[in-house]
């Protein structure tokens, strides 16, 4: 794929992120968020996330076509080394390795920050998301039956978990580093390596 780039999200990306996310909220139960957020809410979430977690976008020819971010697992301090995940790709660009490139970069950033355990909460059925997470080594933890009600029916949630391979011993740190504490050159290298995954991938979709 030509002119594909993985990079840190900027506040100006909020408009495109909302364009990608809104149809999933309005028309599907892949997310159990029921109300499409306003552009201001998307921007605020991004600013909140970016303080402590990576928020990444994939751009093709300069336009955002997908995004992924990690966010706080739970408020308790003991859970500081865990993170939840979110990932959404524009349907026109699915099946081309974009989620793989985004997650590759996201997990490397989380690792150098010092995070250990990652969780995906997937409304099932969602074969693509389950396969994506298995592909990265996530294991099924539990299914919460009928845990969400949206668009006139009940939905089950599958919890999947992965410990980042080679993650540091939490006992040796006071908590993960914030995004601003990371070495800028190291971040640039991670983004370049993830972008390179896309330059070698096909521009055609999965058959
Ligand atoms: C799930 C999603 C993020 C995958 O994005 P993508 O860019 O199409 O994924 P990739 O092309 O990088 O595929 C990575 C792996 O995921 C799996 N996968 C992706 N799409 C799949 C599909 N439709 N069916 C089965 N497996 C699929 C495969 O294992 C694939 O690896 P492979 O190509 O080596 O077989 C995308 O389908 C999406 O945005 N779905 C809607 C939103 C959503 O469900 N988000 C997750 C909420 S928990």
CA-closest residue to ligand 1 atom 16: 132
What pLDDT score does 207 carry?
Answer: 46
pTM assigned to the model: 0.96
Mean pLDDT by 10 residues, the chain (207 residues): 93 98 98 97 97 97 97 95 98 97 98 97 98 98 98 98 92 89 98 93 57
The finding on whether 78 has its CB within 6 A of some atom of ligand 1 is no
Residue-range domain boundaries for the chain: 4-199
Residues in Cβ contact with 101 at an 8 Å cutoff, skipping those fewer than 6 apart: 4, 6, 58, 194, 195, 197, 198, 201
Residue 68 CA, closest ligand 1 atom number: 3
DSSP for 133-172? Answer: HHHTT-EEEEEEEEEEEETTEEEEEEEEEEEPTTPPPGGG
84 CA → ligand 1 middle, Å: 17
Best of 92, 95, 128, 137 for a ligand 1 pocket test (most atoms within 8 Å of beta carbon)? 128
Which residue of 94, 106, 157 sits with most ligand 1 atoms within 8 Å of its CB, as the best mutation to test the pocket? 94
Q: Tell whether ligand 1 has an atom less than 6 A from the beta carbon of residue 127.
A: yes
Q: Separation of 126 CA from ligand 1 center, angstroms?
A: 9
CATH placement of domain 4-199: 3.40.630.30
Centre of ligand 1 to C-alpha 131, Å, is: 7
pLDDT at 170: 85
pLDDT of residue 203: 58
Residue with the smallest CA separation from ligand 1 atom 48 is 122
Residue 95 Cα to ligand 1 midpoint, Å, equals 6
Q: List the residue whose alpha carbon is closest to atom 36 of ligand 1.
A: 89
Please give the full DSSP string across 75-102, using - where no structure is assigned: SSGGGTTEEEEEEEE-GGGTTSSHHHHH
């Amino acid at each position: 794929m030509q002119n594909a780039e993985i990079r840190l999200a900027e506040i100006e990306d909020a408009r495109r992120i909302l364009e990608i996310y809104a149809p999933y909220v309005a028309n599907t139960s892949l997310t159990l968020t029921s109300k499409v957020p306003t552009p201001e809410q998307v921007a605020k979430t991004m600013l909140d996330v970016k303080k402590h977690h990576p928020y990444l976008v994939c751009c093709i020819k300069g336009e955002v076509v997908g995004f992924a971010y990690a966010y706080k697992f739970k408020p308790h301090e003991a859970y500081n080394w865990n993170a939840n995940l979110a990932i959404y790709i524009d349907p026109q660009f699915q099946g081309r390795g974009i989620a793989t490139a985004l997650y590759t970069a996201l997990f490397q950033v989380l690792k150098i920050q010092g995070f250990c355990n990652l969780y995906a909460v997937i409304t099932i059925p969602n074969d693509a998301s389950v396969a994506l997470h298995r592909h990265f080594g996530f294991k099924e933890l539990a299914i919460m039956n009928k845990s969400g009600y949206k668009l006139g029916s009940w939905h089950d949630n599958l919890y999947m978990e992965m410990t980042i391979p080679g993650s540091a011993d939490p006992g040796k740190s006071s908590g993960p580093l914030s995004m601003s504490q990371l070495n800028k050159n190291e971040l640039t290298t991670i983004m370049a390596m993830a972008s390179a995954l896309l330059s070698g991938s096909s521009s055609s979709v999965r058959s």
